[in-house]
Structure 1
């Protein structure tokens, strides 16, 4: 579907003043202005801050007391256990604190709960085992802030130090020390650290206390957790990720290097975005399919061969995770479509014994396909465990709250949440959510929005601009890659690319240059965007190297084509159907070859868009079908079992021309 474009407002005088003061182009000045970075000091900090600009970790409430206790435990060789979470933030935080304590002379161990049987955070059985095992100091990472009762139960037998970044509840745990920049009374200036960021501040303070020096290295572990946890890449998060990426490119951590290599990343291709989509899911797969301990082990491994073996094991787990998730997502999509619910305000799908470790990802797939808030529920032993993903404008936590009388428990945030429910209440729950959506959403809410930083002219697009924009990296949550718009671009080439022909390649010609564009998973646009069309493009920019030549490339976010005059009636449909019969052999033919053959065959009678619209009608009524093959989709004529009705096609209804005209 076409997306709504929201073009950022401009203040030309302010933009030019900002560009002049900072010695940058008006394009970069516009982007910084859009992000609220408008003074010389804000620009300097945003573009040039480094590790020396991080705030003193001892500003964090509870830090001094925690550091003194941990240092005493190291000196006296007391038993220290790090208790982490099973997601990437928890895994990296665990590996980070473990590494630093080990290198400071301590003898730490770690514990991460099993996702399916123990769930998130501290649990009584695990704490009892750790207590019985003689633990003196327990350090939580990326969890613990909501475990008041459990910590009260065990804080007499061991000293519990909580490090967390989640929003604290009203009742803070009575732990030995609590380190969380979001807790009331904490003067630490930057509040948006990930769990790995809070753990890094603890490590900084420990190293400073023990050695009187700045913490050397380790920041790539913090960067990996920060990228994966989708915290805003602003302020200290930006510094930590930027420095961590530098170390990753140098391969300074054996375990991290093995993980990146197994993910197909090289020093030239390591970015925050690629890590989020390749390396982070491999660590996540450990906690979802096997046990998160495997993720910690690869990050701690110093032997290159063993690290490679462990990283490859995570890659296999990730493939298994992808297969399971694909199956569940496909079943969920089919369930929603078969019930005719794809246009509902909220989507709810459920199944027996769906793997609860991947239902959150399956919910994300539903959001991607239908652009609706989505909830996926796995029913096991008479209990439904659900995971939710949302879209802007729909507060998932508040939606669950509106139905809390139907739920066993729930929790989460605006965009993602989880819950449990008795299966026979699922339909009542769905109806309650639909009512919530009706009260809080509009028809426009269900159209995806693209925020455009600036409209460009074709001649503005250059490698020089791309190089200047690289100063904005690393990109991520809260610091997205800038999106531009190009108006009235004339398409000179439009074709599907990739092994399965799922992606799109466009070219446009200008007086000065030929510009290329790629649209990932956008090959379906070839049915509506044809050579010679005039379109508006929304895109990001990146360099593209091919045969040793580097050129600017647009990465498409959306295409708006100008309205076409298309008129269909039964005679036109019969004529185009007969032409198609001559274009498609019995065994079928690749989709885009069929399209081009048909356009060429009927060009003297029908405009190209009319031919493509007619093919859409034939697909919608079942006369024409698509079969997915390894080399891409093909069109073929299926065996027909009944009479086909043109009126059943939405496309035909849109373009139908009656004999007397419309």
Structure 2
């Protein structure tokens, strides 16, 4: 599929001094108008909206100020994933910088489940806590908030999840009436609620993660206390890490946060983050969004998956280097264990799918009783990627079956779970991902219900690859590649540019690398010009499919190959089709 978005690319090129190809890529990322393009290319943190534009931000700052002045104890309630960990780090550090008596608590993934709960509230009450401050959770905790308030606590909520709602009916007057469903937001009865998804919030950018909202609160607190903005630097790093790790869209303020966070990570002020980089063999100056999402982030998440997320938060709060290195190694080892467990679970899932005839189903419901329940979502994502079908991975827990699902475009997982709700004990999520629990005896009826009238067609199972520009590789220069750096950081909503070329003849091929898992190709275009190419994904399968002398079409990204002091342009093949 080729993007066909329209704009005055020549005008944009001249106005901003960029190639027309770059202008097309920017438009393909839904950036339009001179102001948006200027922010996309050159936006900075001082240009981002004031935190005080968020509903209840001023009230939250005022309340925290009074609590700090009066010496009241404040407990930050985070969550067990990377976003909740980074958000809690920001708030605990910021409050202590202001002299607050602050500590933290994080729920256990298996024992407590998501978000603040009654046990945590009672523990806080027993500990003499006056104020609860949530981050990355709380917007759905109406009952829990009311309970904490009944105990005399102050409750402040900061969250980024969708606000729960109830359907209400409006009825017109007259002899007959018409009715229409309206959504009434159900906001917990907290003393203040900071969440840009509230309909009454005027903040211009809604899609911040929990840690980014914690950063905005820290910014508001520091402004109020006249603390130099430079001291916010480690919080920018943490918000950037969480934005990538929580797979937020890298557009608008998120993209600026990540870009600025990566700059600061080159000289990180977070001792624990420096330690994680070192144990993973990362060079701080070369850090990119890939390393945040696929190297550092999984190490932080491993604590919450296989041990406790408090271990990850303690690492980020640790300032002594030797201790931080020891803790970082523990998290890396946990993540290595998690990766091994994931590989085994994925292999088991593939065997089950292919041996049971499940490939004929529209929706895969994969029962892996021995899979660790914290890994179900990761496994579901990998199976979805392999087969391009909606996938639920179900595991066996102490109180019944639990599962996570990952979807494909055009199939709303949450809506289908709503329709099949009679089989489930609990569920939640959104169109592309969901979590659920159910009695064991309902597993097969649930599978049948999902596959009966799924609404999916064979076309839905075709993976769509979106091309920015059908562009011959001969157009690529080092200067153009240098210009593409303006488009970084890449990630969800700001994907790395992808180009395509047809009529490429395979002259030579060979598997390279220590594990022979990279396919190196020598190609020639229709004019006979040679092209160096490399393919990383499923290289062994590609080696079997692509024969020398074949003609292929390739979707690619251009890159620089540096070897023995020599630099050359190369095509990094993302996908291919054999044409002859």
TM interval, short-chain normalised: over 0.9
Per the alignment, residue 369 of structure 2 pairs with 352
Q: Deviations for 1:471-517, whole angstroms, at most 9, x for unmatched residues?
A: 00111111111111022122222222233223322222466654232
Q: Deviations for 1:211-247, whole angstroms, at most 9, x for unmatched residues?
A: 2543521210111111101111111111111110001
Per the alignment, residue 237 of structure 2 pairs with 220
Task: State how far apart, in whole Å, the 2-side matches of 1:275 and 1:485 are.
Answer: 28
Say if 1:405 and 1:10 are closer, same or farther in 2 by CA, change over 3 A. Answer: closer
Per the alignment, residue 181 of structure 1 pairs with 196
Q: Deviations for 1:359-380, whole angstroms, at most 9, x for unmatched residues?
A: 1111112112212111111123
Matched-pair contact (CA < 8 Å) for 1:402–1:436:
no
Instruction: Between 85-94 and 365-374, report the one with greater CA deviation.
Output: 365-374
Matched-pair contact (CA < 8 Å) for 2:522–2:530:
no
Per the alignment, residue 495 of structure 2 pairs with 480
Say if 1:288 and 1:212 are closer, same or farther in 2 by CA, change over 3 A. Answer: closer
Per the alignment, residue 439 of structure 2 pairs with 422
Task: State how far apart, in whole Å, the 1-side matches of 2:469 and 2:125 are.
Answer: 58
Task: State how far apart, in whole Å, the 1-side matches of 2:567 and 2:65 are.
Answer: 53
Superposition deviation, residue 269 in structure 1: 3.1
Are 1:310 and 2:305 an aligned pair? no
TM-score, normalised relative to structure 2: 0.93
Q: Deviations for 1:368-402, whole angstroms, at most 9, x for unmatched residues?
A: 22121111111234611011111111111111111
Per the alignment, residue 491 of structure 1 pairs with 506
Matched-pair contact (CA < 8 Å) for 1:495–1:506:
yes
Q: Deviations for 1:142-185, whole angstroms, at most 9, x for unmatched residues?
A: 00000001101112421111000000012100101100001121
Say if 1:338 and 1:117 are closer, same or farther in 2 by CA, change over 3 A. Answer: same
Matched-pair contact (CA < 8 Å) for 2:76–2:88:
yes
Per the alignment, residue 165 of structure 1 pairs with 160
Per the alignment, residue 270 of structure 1 pairs with 287
Matched-pair contact (CA < 8 Å) for 2:533–2:573:
no
Q: Deviations for 1:382-437, whole angstroms, at most 9, x for unmatched residues?
A: 61101111111111111111100111110001111000111111111111111242
Find 1:211's aligned residue among 203, 209, 226: 226
Aligned residues: 555
Unaligned runs of 5+ in 1: 1-5, 564-662
Matched-pair contact (CA < 8 Å) for 1:204–1:215:
no
Find 2:50's aligned residue among 45, 52, 56: 56
Task: State how far apart, in whole Å, the 1-side matches of 2:442 and 2:426 are.
Answer: 13
Per the alignment, residue 169 of structure 2 pairs with none
Per the alignment, residue 83 of structure 2 pairs with 89
Which residues of 2 match residues 112-131 of structure 1 at below 5 A?
A: 112-131=106-125
Matched-pair contact (CA < 8 Å) for 2:31–2:37:
yes
Per the alignment, residue 607 of structure 1 pairs with none
Task: State how far apart, in whole Å, the 1-side matches of 2:399 and 2:157 are.
Answer: 35
Are 1:462 and 2:477 an aligned pair? yes
Task: State how far apart, in whole Å, the 1-side matches of 2:96 and 2:102 are.
Answer: 6
Say if 1:147 and 1:32 are closer, same or farther in 2 by CA, change over 3 A. Answer: same
Task: State how far apart, in whole Å, the 1-side matches of 2:509 and 2:529 are.
Answer: 20
Secondary structure at the counterpart of residue 449 of structure 1: coil
Matched-pair contact (CA < 8 Å) for 2:473–2:571:
no
Instruction: Between 540-549 and 53-62, report the one with greater CA deviation.
Output: 540-549
TM-score, normalised relative to structure 1: 0.81
Whose Rg is larger?
A: 1
Matched-pair contact (CA < 8 Å) for 1:399–1:436:
no
Superposition deviation, residue 268 in structure 1: 4.2
Per the alignment, residue 330 of structure 1 pairs with 347
Secondary structure at the counterpart of residue 558 of structure 2: strand
Matched-pair contact (CA < 8 Å) for 1:518–1:553:
no
Task: State how far apart, in whole Å, the 2-side matches of 1:343 and 1:555 are.
Answer: 34
Matched-pair contact (CA < 8 Å) for 1:346–1:372:
yes
Q: Deviations for 1:291-315, whole angstroms, at most 9, x for unmatched residues?
A: 0001101111112221111111100
- Coordinate RMSD, CA, aligned: 1.6
Which residues of 2 match residues 612-623 of structure 1 at below 5 A?
A: none
Find 1:44's aligned residue among 18, 38, 43: 38
Matched-pair contact (CA < 8 Å) for 1:207–1:215:
no
Matched-pair contact (CA < 8 Å) for 2:517–2:536:
no
Task: State how far apart, in whole Å, the 2-side matches of 1:252 and 1:547 are.
Answer: 35
Matched-pair contact (CA < 8 Å) for 1:22–1:40:
no
Task: State how far apart, in whole Å, the 1-side matches of 2:345 and 2:5 are.
Answer: 45
Matched-pair contact (CA < 8 Å) for 1:537–1:560:
yes
Matched-pair contact (CA < 8 Å) for 1:93–1:199:
yes
Secondary structure at the counterpart of residue 427 of structure 2: strand
Q: Deviations for 1:175-198, whole angstroms, at most 9, x for unmatched residues?
A: 011000011210111100001111
| Larger RCO (alpha carbons 8 Å, 6+ apart) | 2
Find 1:532's aligned residue among 546, 549, 567: 549
Task: State how far apart, in whole Å, the 2-side matches of 1:556 and 1:107 are.
Answer: 54
Per the alignment, residue 257 of structure 2 pairs with 240
Say if 1:419 and 1:309 are closer, same or farther in 2 by CA, change over 3 A. Answer: same
Per the alignment, residue 145 of structure 1 pairs with 139
Task: State how far apart, in whole Å, the 2-side matches of 1:436 and 1:63 are.
Answer: 46
Q: Deviations for 1:582-619, whole angstroms, at most 9, x for unmatched residues?
A: xxxxxxxxxxxxxxxxxxxxxxxxxxxxxxxxxxxxxx
